[in-house]
Chain A
Amino acid sequence: MQKQLASNHPVHLPEQSSKMFSPKSLKKTGLYTFMSFIGLLQLIPLVWLVLISFKNNAEIQSNSAFSLPETWQIQNYVDAWVQGEIGDYFFNSVLVTTVTVIVVLLLGSMMAYALTRMRFRWSGVLSIIILSGVMVPVHATLVPLFTLLRDLGLLKSQLAIILPYITVNIPIAIFILSSFLRGLPKELEEAAFIDGYGVIRAFFHVVLPLLRPALASVGIFIFLNVWNELLMAVTFIQKSSLRTLPLGLMNFSGEYSVEWGPLCAAMFISTIPLIIIYLFFSEQLEKSFTAGSILK
């Protein structure tokens, strides 16, 4: 998919001034200027956020927007983490996201395998039904899910949010993994069967290791879906101690509407894992988003 040649280095504008005025490098300079301008537009809000997260209120109001903080208010981060309970929300998000990703990868790959490799009568119909899970917006499930989770007595536990998250992400996983499976040669599994492996053993020892790149893409995609999700969280999380980060942030912003420092610190904390993922997995991330787009 990617035949990208460009390196990872930041921009180097043409250095020799003699070349600056030839039409070609003028065009190039213009191009870089434009691209940098758009780049700034995408980055400035985040830079601003980070600066504010280290300032106190007086400084936010008086000094210019991009001045460095006079004294770096580390206290904002402490306030966010402790008083703002961002630490608890962070832990909740980690728990909910991890469980969801693991279960979806396991169930999704098993289902994808059954649908692409195993033989049974209704596999075509079943694929279409599961496709509906990708096509129909989750909005269509909220009210009955709420009453169902309430009647099952789950609204006071993490399951209230984990079960719906697993469910809405399984179809996406199935479709990405199925298309990957279809491209995998069957010879290795056949060899395993000849060696006397059963389907289950062949799946766990031969197929799953081969699926690893696809599992990584799907895993990252679902991680982001769940980590950032608000609509279901705001509907199904009824106890403040169970809040995930997006919901916690919303609540925090209501309480700290006047004091921006701790709120911005909280917002930045919630973004740090995403930045880390981006720095380490940008390649898989791009793959998972382009793969995920085909079905969404």
Chain B
Amino acid sequence: MEKALSNRWVLALFLLPGLTLFSVFFLYPVCRTVFFSLHEWDGIQPMKFIGLSNYVKMFTDDPNFYPAVQNGFVFVLFSLIFQLPAAFILAMLVSRKIKGSKWFRNVYFFPVIMSTTMVSLLWSKIYDPAIGLLNAFLRSIGLESMTQLWLGDTKTSLLSVVFVLVWQFVGYHMLIMFAGIQSIPDHIYEAARLDGATGWKSVRHITLPLLSDVLKVDVVLAVVGSLKVFEQVYVMTGGGPDNSSTVIAVRMFQEAFLKMNFGYGSTLAVYLVVQCLLISWVINKLMSRNTVYS
């Protein structure tokens, strides 16, 4: 058996096809992105090495860079302040052993499996100022004054897009937390109840601490997901109006594939990756220091 399991030929047969694909279509491109980011290139003419100029341009000379970064953090912020707490409340509710809780769980989760493109198109119809559902609803309850252009107004475009992300994926985070809550054994709650910990107290002193590992994973997921956001913005507003809702991923796509600035587009891609990795590392550090041992 030892011998069979260290057979070189079998090993090669099992590993090489996948590994080849992974190297050619993932590892190699990732390295090339860093390489491209040091060049000026339209994809056709010979590449021109320009050192860190693209990075200098990004930090000092691109009027859309900081707004895009800032908008990314607005996604993060709303995800952390609204989406995760809402997901936790929903997870607590569907964990109760009441009739229909599985049915509710399924309903809350359903938007997660729909395509983001479809959901974004659907919401751009809902936000439609003339015949969209949202303004129609506001008019029908007499709040005519609150009707907006939504996606068409620089003041509301970003938050309208953010809401769609929160709406679609709240069920995802609910499911992750739900799975975590399910894995907390009942007898811990029972023991706590004997000690007088019920209701909010048991949430505060049992559920949350025992969930801290799951929460850490989930916070990273939510933050990285928000920083990478592309589809919602691309489909609903294309970053506009007037770049009010743009994000790094959309800027990267526009630079690289609409303006054919492969060099600068790659620079933005490098920034996005570094930002995602750095922030998930920081969250891991911060949250593991606060882990409560029970």
Interface residue ranges, A against B (CB under 8 Å): 1-12, 28, 31-32, 34-35, 38-39, 41-46, 48-49, 52, 60-61, 64-65, 107-108, 110-111, 113-114, 117-120, 126, 129-130, 132-133, 135-137, 139-148, 150, 163-164, 166-168, 170-171, 174, 189-190, 193-194, 198-200, 202-203, 224, 227-228, 230-231, 234-235, 245-247, 249-250, 253, 260, 263-264, 267, 270-271, 274, 277-278, 282, 285-286, 289-290, 293-294, 296
Contact = CB atoms under 8 A, between A and B. Distances in A.
B56 to A, nearest CB: 19
A120 B113 contact: no
Interface in B244-277: 249, 252-253, 256-257, 262, 265-266, 269-270, 272-273, 276-277
A199 B2 CA distance: 11
B6 A264 contact: no
B228 A193 contact: no
B141 interface: no
A199 B172 contact: no
A118 B182 contact: no
How many B residues touch the partner, as a band?
Answer: 35 or more
A137 B277 CA distance: 9
B252 A139 contact: yes
Contacts of B101: 4, 6
Interface stretch (B25-33, B64-72, B204-212): B25-33
Interface string B156-178: 00000000000100011001100
Interface stretch (B12-20, B76-84, B187-195): B12-20
| Interface majority SS (helix, strand, loop, mixed), chain B | helix
A106 B131 CA distance: 48
Contact of A144 (B29, B113, B249): B29
A8 B269 contact: no
Given A38-B90, A65-B136, A118-B6, A10 B22 contact: no
A294 B167 CA distance: 22
Q: Which 10 pairs from chain A and chain B are nearest by CB?
A: A144-B32, A228-B115, A246-B117, A144-B29, A141-B29, A107-B18, A167-B25, A114-B14, A110-B14, A6-B101
27 contacts: A6-B97, A8-B103, A42-B107, A45-B122, A45-B123, A110-B14, A119-B5, A132-B30, A133-B26, A136-B277, A139-B228, A142-B252, A143-B33, A144-B266, A148-B29, A164-B25, A170-B21, A199-B7, A200-B13, A228-B118, A230-B235, A245-B115, A246-B115, A253-B124, A260-B131, A282-B106, A289-B172
Nearest to B102: A6
A288 B280 CA distance: 22
A39 B252 contact: no
Given A137-B272, A230-B117, A6 B110 contact: no
B111 to A, nearest CB: 6
A277 B107 CA distance: 14
